[in-house]
Amino acid sequence: MTERSCLSVILAAGEGTRMKSARPKVLHEVAGLPLIGHVVKAARSQEGVDVAVVVGREAEAVRKAVEPFAPQAEVFLQAERLGTAHAVLAARDSIARGYDDILILFGDTPLIEPAALADLREGLAAGADVVVMGFHAADPTGYGRLIMRDGALAAIREHKDATEAERAIAFCNGGLMAVAGRHALSLLDAVGNANAKGEYYLTDIVEIAASRGLCVAATEAPYESILGINTRLELAEAEAVWQERRRRALMLAGVTMAAPQTVHLCHDTEIGEDAVIEPNVVFGPGVTVAPGARIRAFSHLEGASVGPGAEVGPFARLRPGAQLGRKAKVGNFCEVKKAVVEEGAKVNHLTYIGDARIGAGANIGAGTITCNYDGFSKHHTEIGAGAFIGSNSALVAPVTIGAGAYVASGSVVTHDVPDDALAFGRARQENKEGLGRRLREKLGSKAVK
Ligand code: UD1
Ligand code: CA
């Protein structure tokens, strides 16, 4: 199979007007990744596959979304939207290079799985000239219907062009197709636009191929893997399917989730064995959770790495650049941004740590704030191993607290603190004997009710 050369043509020029959005449809996201990103990722999951993407408006933005997964992808512009066959032909130059297999994918089907693509290509390898991915729809309205004759696929009829009898067919066109490279251009060039929409339908190549005596086959995939997105409702449906799929995979890989349906993952969330994810945790992009770590309820993480056995939350926020070492702890109502919290260090209550390094075993008291921003620039706070920062301290960066140093609670620290020193950065306390009682009497006598 891998010896066969393959080009994936991904159609992404559709206007997606039913999304009611200023954004092109294929740039809407599932699991934090644009729809087109999911499709390109699936296309590239097979070895050695070249990718051509056909785009309409905002070509540059679509190209950017494709790049991380297929840096070599060729991008073609379909200036006028004249139908799916017309769109494929925008990639004529790529197709003409001569591939064994041409896979045609839609940019709005983010749930397709590598197995479905392999299945289509196996059909070609087994001798078919065109293979269509079908599915059984509970409600087939709107989809092209697969017209089977004697076990072979004879035609695809678009909903608008179908007769009553054809509309009763529940076996639908999922949109994915594989075409033998040597026939692709001649089939596509033969497509006309005499139909209800006046468009060049890709689906017509089935009937054309059959009339030429070519071998046309249909295969089937579950609806959940080829669901196409035309509205925000379908976007949410796809998100739910994706989340469910990924959570299952993680749990089967050894991650505990007591209430999995409340855990929201991102396309690139990595979680190690024996990690525990409590209910209502949200993962943004770029998060890695090491084995044995625990993310407690209602935490929000993005761009962060959590070390082995570390604990986060409940109600914690890890922002980009937060790196928690082995057995580090970031507790309730704490925010950590662009900061390393080394092994065993604790940031347990109501604290903001930004642009900092917290040495191993240091203890950051409740309400500590690293004052990292002066309105123009960000500054670094360095806290040595084993340091103890008393509650309600403001560390005005740039500043260094030495290893083993103490900062008295309530301090505003503006100068570096040497190793093992004790810093007081607060007004000295004075007690005035009896003054409390006298004040109370004075205020009481003047009280206005
Ligand atoms: C298409 C199929 C239908 C199938 C359904 C599955 C055709 C004619 N119909 O219908 O049989 O059941 O998908 O979801 O193929 N696009 C372009 N340029 C165009 C037109 C479309 O790039 O000129 C792209 C769109 O961005 C989209 C894809 O092609 O990614 C499919 O187009 P869409 O209009 O969504 O087709 P459907 O009506 O859903
Ligand atoms: Ca569609």
> How does residue 57 score in pLDDT terms, banded at 50, 70 and 90?
confident
Q: Of all protein residues, whose CA lies closest to atom 28 belonging to ligand 1?
A: 106
162: helix, coil or strand?
coil
Mutational pocket test of ligand 1: of 66, 106, 202, 231, the residue with most ligand atoms within 8 Å of the beta carbon:
106
| Range(s) of the chain covered by CATH 2.160.10.10 | 232-423
**How confident is the model at residue 3, as a pLDDT?**
86
**How confident is the model at residue 151, as a pLDDT?**
83
- The C-alpha atoms of residue 425 and residue 144 are separated, in whole angstroms, by 74
pLDDT of 1 higher than 80: no
Mutational pocket test of ligand 1: of 17, 66, 80, 84, the residue with most ligand atoms within 8 Å of the beta carbon:
84
* Angle of helix 35-44 versus helix 59-66 axis, rounded to 10: 40
151 compared with 30, residue with greater pLDDT: 30
Q: Of all protein residues, whose CA lies closest to atom 22 belonging to ligand 1?
A: 13
pLDDT of 264 higher than 80: yes
Record the tokens describing residue 247, joined without a space.
Answer: 């959570």
Match domain 6-226 to its CATH number in 3.90.550.10, 3.90.870.10, 3.40.50.10950, 3.40.630.40: 3.90.550.10
Asked if 85 contacts 102 with a C-beta cutoff of 8 angstroms, the reply is no
Record the tokens describing residue 109, joined without a space.
Answer: 């089907």
Question: How far is ligand 2, taken at its centre, from the CA of residue 64, in Å?
Answer: 22
Q: Of all protein residues, whose CA lies closest to atom 16 belonging to ligand 1?
A: 14
**How confident is the model at residue 449, as a pLDDT?**
83
**How confident is the model at residue 76, as a pLDDT?**
96
The 10s digit of each residue's pLDDT in 267-307 is 999 999 999 999 999 999 999 999 999 999 999 999 999 99
**How confident is the model at residue 2, as a pLDDT?**
59
Residues 6 or more apart from 428 whose CB is under 8 A from it? Answer: none
Ligand closest to CA 159? 1
Give backbone dihedrals phi and psi of 202, rounded to 5 degrees, phi first.
-60, -35
* Helix (H), strand (E) at residue 44: helix 35-44
Task: Kindly name the residue from 349, 379, 380, 415 that is annotated as catalytic.
Answer: 349
| DSSP single-letter state for residue 356 | E
- Rg (Cα) of the chain, in Å, rounded? 30
Report pTM: 0.93
Asked if 263 contacts 29 with a C-beta cutoff of 8 angstroms, the reply is no
- Residue 287 to residues 241, 244, 252, 358, Cα–Cα distance (Å): 21, 18, 19, 20
Q: Locate tokens 């997964």: which residue? A: 69
Record the tokens describing residue 168, joined without a space.
Answer: 């009763």
For 427, other C-beta atoms within 10 Å of its C-beta total: 7
pLDDT of 132 higher than 70: yes
pLDDT of 418 higher than 60: yes
Q: Of all protein residues, whose CA lies closest to atom 34 belonging to ligand 1?
A: 14
Average pLDDT, the chain: 96
For 350, other C-beta atoms within 10 Å of its C-beta total: 18
- The C-alpha atoms of residue 291 and residue 277 are separated, in whole angstroms, by 11
Q: Locate tokens 């309205």: which residue? A: 141
Question: How far is ligand 1, taken at its centre, from the CA of residue 445, in Å?
Answer: 83
- The C-alpha atoms of residue 405 and residue 424 are separated, in whole angstroms, by 11
7: helix, coil or strand?
strand
Residues by chain with Cβ below 5 Å of ion ligand 2: 228
**How confident is the model at residue 17, as a pLDDT?**
87
| Range(s) of the chain covered by CATH 3.90.550.10 | 6-226
Q: Give 220-277 as a DSSP string.
A: E--HHHH----SHHHHHHHHHHHHHHHHHHHHHTT-EESSGGG-B--TT-EE-TT-EE
Give the binding-site residues of ligand 1, using a 6 Å CB cut-off.
11-14, 54, 78, 81-84, 86-87, 106-108, 143-144, 156, 158, 172-175, 201-203, 228
Question: How far is ligand 1, taken at its centre, from the CA of residue 148, in Å?
Answer: 21
- The C-alpha atoms of residue 80 and residue 293 are separated, in whole angstroms, by 52
- The C-alpha atoms of residue 21 and residue 31 are separated, in whole angstroms, by 19
The 10s digit of each residue's pLDDT in 336-380 is 999 999 999 999 999 999 999 999 999 999 999 999 999 999 999
The 10s digit of each residue's pLDDT in 183-202 is 999 999 999 999 999 999 99
Question: How far is ligand 1, taken at its centre, from the CA of residue 84, in Å?
Answer: 6
Match domain 232-423 to its CATH number in 3.40.720.10, 2.60.40.1240, 2.40.33.10, 2.160.10.10: 2.160.10.10
* Helix (H), strand (E) at residue 88: helix 84-89
Question: How far is ligand 2, taken at its centre, from the CA of residue 407, in Å?
Answer: 62
| DSSP single-letter state for residue 91 | T
pLDDT of 424 higher than 70: yes
Q: Is 349 a catalytic residue?
A: yes
